[in-house]
A and B are shown apart, each in its own frame.
Chain A
């Protein structure tokens, strides 16, 4: 089966090895006999017409993020409609911030976002940098762990009652204070974790893929056939122990 992926602004948002996440989606889909058809989405084109099963948006440097932010905000309605319609979405770092209501820069200026996620981000003085370990807060994977690397100055403040991706075991998380990281809305996940995120957290890749497949077929999400993930488990274990021994500490 074809899984139609919209990769948002790959020429602008391409730091932190984002193509590694796409490569993992491709490989894990192929191992189950599915093919990823990735469409790069850039300024103005193509329109998001509801045909995509999975959206991916990564992080960029400040200048590039500012260049795409107005276009992304304009696409907010289409993205919200797609997620309402059951499409899966993964947003990392800058993409995670830009899919919230907006970003308050240090000079007080406000950059509106796509308003998919129930949060706002404010620029902080201190960058939060280091390895991170989370315990999943997703009902589909209670207690599973997520390991990654964070590097952000923005502090993302979730609305009251919003569902985080996980509880911070080690590291800073959304704002360095709440003890939570990321956000989840329907089949959309936002997070600061990169490194890239998915190679060392294969279960999360599979969960997102199962959502994308469910969108494509119209069926309920079903668990995917397990793969031999020995290397991935080892990568996860190394990253998790890095986070435990030297991840940032919430304030």
Chain B
């Protein structure tokens, strides 16, 4: 009872209706946890969302420092967690850290944190327009657009079009943080006054060309193929169109002099309008450098100092299933979510750079949240993992390979290239 009374007190300006809905929803959350049905992360929000979608507007309105939203195909959970690492020492956050990123999850988060000052919310790409409209964010951080779950989200251009409409309705005083290295995302910031554009500027770390399933290869203005002076993650990089001159915009926040440290982390120089700081990020991979740039830019847009941003990034710990490590007795387990070709390619590149673990399990489900259409797995470039097999074999030991026919031909071609076997036409 005391908790319910407290609700009404702290909610103050809230309508009696919302207060009642809030209490009911919190009760449902507790019941759900008590019944052992998960963490109760979205059930209270689902209830409020069903009872009154407008409750989200009011819940956002009571956050004294407003709302910051993060969306992207890949990295939104990690980016938001990095931003939380930067912001949490000085602000009480309503942060949906479990990744419940639809309207109901966002509502649940805002319900569950009583004295939150700032909403820090990762948002599903498809749900972004409505959540932007209802929460009236101070900052919107847009990370990237990759093909993902075509059965669920539809095509890339469709999501981009929804984002364009949502961004054009954003008030001029709201800040937009945009990835300059993604042509579709960067174009959303064109003509806006209050923008921070981030990207990587370190051609020495560029990948050797675009991967098989790369998106956004063609100019957003004229359709001619882009020239990529550097591609860092999928199609993210320094692009320019030789036909119409469209090119990556100037970077306001950049990562330079990137120095990977195996699977343990990556260091880089964070160049921001206020100066430069050397950051040692405790998770590896260029995609995490992008996540860090997005989180840092979001924090800059909220007025956080460079030193506090760097310190926050260095304190970061891996988010829920994204390069999460745990131990089983004296063995280590590394959990690395893959959900689309771009993300899986990046996970593989990172493993390749940092040392492929000797045992690797790839687990593919086709539940609704995974996407029922699992054909994307064919578009992932798994081959680099196979090539590392030999390096992982102890001296004197044998590496056994059970290839299908064309895999055998390719493996043999690699071996022949390295002078390990004779070409079959000579044997």
Which residues of chain A have a CB within 8 Å of any CB of chain B?
A: 11, 14-17, 19-20, 23, 26-27, 30-31, 61-64, 67, 127, 129-131, 149, 151, 194-196, 242, 246
Number of interface residues of B (CB under 8 A): 27
B410 to chain A, nearest CB (A): 10
Contact B218 A196 (CB under 8 A): no
Given A17-B378, A30-B405, A30-B409, CB of A130 within 8 Å of CB of B372: yes
- Chain A to chain B contacts (Cβ below 8 Å), 14 pairs: A14-B379, A15-B150, A16-B373, A17-B377, A20-B378, A61-B215, A62-B155, A63-B155, A63-B157, A63-B218, A149-B372, A149-B373, A151-B373, A242-B366
The DSSP consensus for interface residues of chain A is mixed
Residues from chain A with a CB closer than 8 A to the CB of B217 are 11
Residues from chain A with a CB closer than 8 A to the CB of B409 are 30
Contact A31 B379 (CB under 8 A): no
Contact B372 A67 (CB under 8 A): no
What residue of chain A has the Cβ atom nearest to residue B160's Cβ?
A63
Residues from chain A with a CB closer than 8 A to the CB of B127 are none
Please report the C-alpha to C-alpha distance between residue A130 and residue B157 in the assembled complex, in whole angstroms. 21
What residue of chain B has the Cβ atom nearest to residue A26's Cβ?
B406
Residues from chain A with a CB closer than 8 A to the CB of B405 are 27, 30-31
B6 within 8 A of A: no
Residues from chain A with a CB closer than 8 A to the CB of B158 are 62
Within 390-419 of B, Cβ neighbours of A (below 8 Å) are at 404-406, 409
Given A14-B212, A27-B404, CB of A19 within 8 Å of CB of B378: yes
Within 324-372 of B, Cβ neighbours of A (below 8 Å) are at 366, 372
B9 within 8 A of A: no
Residues from chain A with a CB closer than 8 A to the CB of B212 are 14, 19
B153 to chain A, nearest CB (A): 11
Please report the C-alpha to C-alpha distance between residue A25 and residue B236 in the assembled complex, in whole angstroms. 32
Please report the C-alpha to C-alpha distance between residue A40 and residue B200 in the assembled complex, in whole angstroms. 32
Contact A129 B151 (CB under 8 A): yes
Please report the C-alpha to C-alpha distance between residue A144 and residue B215 in the assembled complex, in whole angstroms. 36
Contact B155 A195 (CB under 8 A): no
A93 to chain B, nearest CB (A): 10
Residues from chain A with a CB closer than 8 A to the CB of B406 are 23, 26-27, 30
Contact B155 A17 (CB under 8 A): no
Contact B372 A131 (CB under 8 A): yes
B197 within 8 A of A: no
